[in-house]
Structure 1
């Protein structure tokens, strides 16, 4: 149980970090970002909103689910996390290459980066679920992927609420309605605003031809790194509860 103890300590530190009060830098960035949003072309926001809505619907209805997402069985937590870390490195490189390619082309290709990056992120989360032994053919497990996504890319003031939901997921999942009923109550605007606000500033820099290639590669790499950390700790939380 040595590895499990190390994982538990890392999980505790991660949760403590998320629960810290909003920093002065975060508050300043948010204020600047609110002004910045008014300068962003409406077409840019439309692409983000449409991409996110399509991504959420595809995730809930399982259009991304294939036979290769069957859960892996009989792995220890250490073995699961070795595979998880390899996945994170693989997808960080994939996202960086995609970001560099679209960032090099300026505003048109820069906008195309949104649906492509979302697709990479969700494919990554599906693969992570399989590594930890969870079956994404169950729509509730696909909702857990969306919760990980939201926690990763939500503002500081919403992270604690998302983290609380993650910690109490085993209770929440038992109370979930049928798929169609759940979809009908999604607040699309709120969902896309949280994500858009998180990525606006770095992604707008990606629209600058040439320079955008450097930004795109760096930002996408960073986003997958953050998503990987959240996914690992989210599943780590559930596996450790089962072991206790």
Structure 2
């Protein structure tokens, strides 16, 4: 497979970022987040927890994200990258519009943003997997999507652990038990706590009257940008074996 030098440079740069040790800033942010969790209304925690549990369930055993996705076969790597870039642009705009709309509506609509944004993120990941030629009806491919999600939205400490799995997927995939066994032991609570802690500080600002629309649009656009970079490079590692 002939690969543009730019793609290889982007991938190696991203890999170095993933392998960096936890920074002082990261540790301070974690402490600040712990304090923030104590003042965030329980109602908000409940919305996020319930939304993530439903998202994990839909990703692993549902058909919500697979029914409209068609696997793309027999095309060049360059064409796959082009399609993924188009998807990133499309979903970033969608997320920004959704964030602006819910952010302008105060706390109730702001809370509604959590499940809506989760859905946008997961639809993007499923479309990206299909663009790169992977079968999203396969349980292990859906599991890889969840790991990419975690990699994009976890603390620096957790990110290192998830990156080890993603970067050694071909070996790790053989250790995964059957679908039924895996579902019985999934630690979805840890999963949702990592995600919630990663985004809460920014998303809480979205609930502030007057600035919610601006914060909501900017934050959602940024989150999809981060997810796009993570997904592209996660699949690049598998395809290019770098």
Which residues in structure 2 correspond to 1:199-238 (within 5 Å)?
A: 199-238=199-238
Whether contact under 8 Å (2:66, 2:126) holds in the other structure is: no
Please report the TM-score for the alignment, with normalisation by the length of structure 1: 0.95
Mapped to 2, the partners of 1:145 and 1:196 lie a distance apart of: 18
Larger mean CA deviation between 184-193 and 88-97 belongs to 184-193
* Shift of residue 19, structure 1, vs aligned partner: 1.4
1:183-205 Cα deviation digits (max 9, x unpaired):
11111221111001001111110
2:214 maps to 1:198: no
Cα distance, 1:65 vs. partner?
A: 4.1
Deviation at 1:223, TM superposition (A): 0.2
Shift, 1:172, TM fit? 1.8
Deviates more, 1:19-28 or 1:181-190: 19-28
| Match of residue 21 from structure 1 | 21
Question: Partner of 1:37 in structure 2?
Answer: 37
Structure 2's unaligned 5+ residue stretches are none
C-alpha distance in 1 between matches for 2:65 and 2:98? 22
CA gap of 1:38–1:231, structure 2 versus 1, over 3 A, is: same
Over aligned residue pairs, what C-alpha RMSD do you find?
A: 1.4
Aligned length: 242
TM-aligned CA distance change 1:238 to 1:4, over 3 Å: farther
Q: What is the CA–CA distance in structure 2 between the aligned matches of 1:66 and 1:196, rounded to whole Å?
A: 25
Determine helix, strand or coil for the equivalent of 2:135. Answer: coil
Question: How far 1:69 moved relative to its partner?
Answer: 1.7
Query: Which residue is 2:106 aligned to?
Result: 106
Give, in whole Å, the separation in 1 of the partners of 2:80 and 2:158: 29
> Is 11-20 or 60-69 further displaced after alignment?
60-69
Q: Does 1:167 align with 2:161?
A: no
Q: Is the 8 A contact 2:51 2:115 kept in 1?
A: yes
Alignment partner, residue 186 of structure 2: 186
Tell me, in whole angstroms, the C-alpha distance in 1 between the residues paired with 2:123 and 2:106. Answer: 26
Q: TM (normalized to structure 2)? A: 0.96
Q: Which residue of 1 aligns with 2:240?
A: 240
Deviation at 1:24, TM superposition (A): 2.3
Q: Aligned equivalents of 2:219 and 2:206: distance in 1?
A: 9
Question: After the TM superposition, which of the residue ranges 226-235 and 176-185 deviates more from structure 2?
Answer: 176-185
Q: Partners in 2 of 1:26 and 1:128 — Cα distance?
A: 29
Give the 3-state SS of the residue equivalent to 1:208 in structure 2.
coil
Contact 2:72 2:131 in 1 (8 A): yes
Equivalent position of 1:132 in the other structure: 132
